Amino acid sequence: MSKPRYLPNSFKKATFMSKRLIVLFLFIGISTSIFAQRVSYRQLVMRSQSPTIFIDDIILPGENGNSTLAFVFRFNNDFIPFKKLPLNNNLDAPEGSEFYSTIRLSNEIFEGKLKRRGEPSANSVSRDVWTDTLFASNFDQTQSAKQYASGYLTSQLAPGNYNYILQLAMMQEVNERNTTRQGISIPDLSTKETGEIIFIRSRNNNQLELLNMEDNVPFGDDFIVLVRLPKYSESDEYQVKVNRARTSRKDTTSGNNIFSSDLKTENIFTNSIVKLINKDRPTLQLTQGNNDYTYAVINIPGSTLENDSYFLSVSKKGDENPVARKFFRSYWPDMPASLYNLDVAISNLHYIIPEKEVEKLNEGNDRKREEKFREFWDSKDPTPKTVYNELMAEYYRRIDYAFKEFGSQENPLGHESDQGEVYIKYGPPSDKERRFPESGKTLEVWKYPSRTFVFEASTGFGDFVLVATR
């Protein structure tokens, strides 16, 4: 992620600066159908506020000819229900805690392929349970998408076909929430001809903390991948590639190459095995010795990748088919709601550019409009070498804030209110004062370094209209 830079408080029509950000509206957390739908900004806000959980299955070498099936998971705090911590409790809460929650996730695995509805379940072959008690020091932490609980469930399984269910209970719920049954095939890794790719957050010697976000990687951050190399030979040379993904409904192939690098021998670990450790922060222990597998640990420059979807592949030089390949996409947890839809993103520019310029941006098909939207920001880019556009993000973040903070019973769309428009253009005031005249309506005064805005209550229900500027 590029380091923070000063952002001017004021957005003025056609005169503001920006940094570069390429936003693909199709893939960040919301289905591609939203791109094609005619949706309102308000609908996007509601959808963007949906809490997030990640649950992924990974397969690792096991014991005695088995494979290890692991379900790794992450529950963001905004998904978890918290309660106020009682004054008298035996929860051994950390000092400063004000809220708590309990959570339990379990799995049950059944032998055989997934059966048709109505047929009896196959024999249960494995169960595992994870439990935890969580604490938060303030209400904001209970609503955070950046703080989370994480862990894993594991089972030792012989190669073959299985089906499973996951069961979740929070705050001592009596009835667990069950997933639908899912089928899964467990391969024999000793004979499997393609390798697995696992996303890694950080590395401490041979301990690799899982990224634990399914097929997502944090937008703007570098990351690491662990790749199993089947049938490895020291005479082979390997190449790592990241290609943009074509992800329409009928096309999931690789597009143009974004990153390419030769795999160095010092990043290859022969005669190795990996095992999960650390229940709270799922981590892989990579151990070399008298083992059967070869792994590569590869650094990927995610900070240079645009906000998009990709395929990562590892191939032997001269071979057309990769030995390992995996789809991934960038994940921006607090991406402003407008950026989920091109129509809305362009429309919401009307606060800072003339309406005629908005109309010009909207001319043409979706591809052409997106190109012009990108060019709009690129043309004002003072630092084009970075992929994260703080100013663009700040502009649309202000719209989100105005929508939430300045709405009222009379006008629930706070970003369309007078106070909302001033906030979007100029940011938070350096000083804000509410006055209650003996005769007349309540006034609210917003002071900025170069100007002052005076708002007057219009209904008594939180509505303020602009009555003076000086």
Question: Full-prediction pTM beyond 0.85?
Answer: no
The mean per-residue pLDDT over the stretch 109-117 comes to 83
For the domain made up of 193-332, the CATH class stated in words is mainly beta
Whole-angstrom distance, CA of residue 342 vs CA of residue 368: 11
Per-residue model confidence (pLDDT) at position 247: 60
Residue-level pLDDT at 171:
85
AA identity, residue 412: P
**Nearest 5°: phi and psi at 144?**
-80, 140
Neighbouring-strand partners of residue 177:
168
Is residue 295 a contact partner of residue 228, using CB atoms and an 8 Å limit? yes
Q: Contact, 455 vs 446, CB < 8 A?
A: yes
State residue 89's pLDDT score. 80
Residue pointed to by tokens 């100013």? 391
Q: pLDDT tens-digit profile of 280-336?
A: 899 999 999 988 999 999 999 998 998 889 999 999 998 989 999 999 998 887 889
Task: Give dist(CA 373, CA 17) in Å, integer.
Answer: 15
pLDDT tens digits for range 30-76: 333 344 457 899 888 888 777 788 999 999 999 888 999 999 999 99
Which DSSP letter does residue 414 get? G
pLDDT, position 306: 85
DSSP collapsed to 3 states, 313-345: EEEECCCCCCCEEEEEEEECCCCCHHHHCHHHH
For Cα atoms 329, 389, 401, give the angle at the middle one, nearest 5 degrees: 95
- State the pLDDT at residue 6: 29
Residue 153 binned pLDDT confidence (cut-offs 50, 70, 90): very high
Q: Is the pLDDT of residue 11 over 60?
A: no
pLDDT at 448: 96
pLDDT of the residue at 119: 63
Top pLDDT among 255 and 433 is at 433
pLDDT(252) > 80 = no
In the chain, ranges of CATH 2.60.40.10 domains:
193-332
End-to-end CA distance of the chain: 39
Among 16, 28, 14, 36, which Cα is nearest to 339's?
28
Helical spans, DSSP H, in 32-179: 33-36, 41-48, 139-142
Q: At what angle do helices 390-405 and 418-426 cross, to 10 degrees?
A: 160
355-379: average pLDDT: 90
* Interval 394-403: pLDDT, tens: 999 999 999 9
Note the pLDDT of residue 35.
Answer: 42
Q: Does domain 53-186 have CATH number 3.40.50?
A: no
Residue range 214-232: average pLDDT? Answer: 94
Using the predicted structure, report yes or no on whether residue 28 has a pLDDT greater than 70.
Answer: no
- Quick one: tokens of 392? 């663009």
Q: How far apart are the C-alpha atoms of 121 and 144, rounded to whole Å? A: 39
Question: What pLDDT sits at residue 220?
Answer: 86
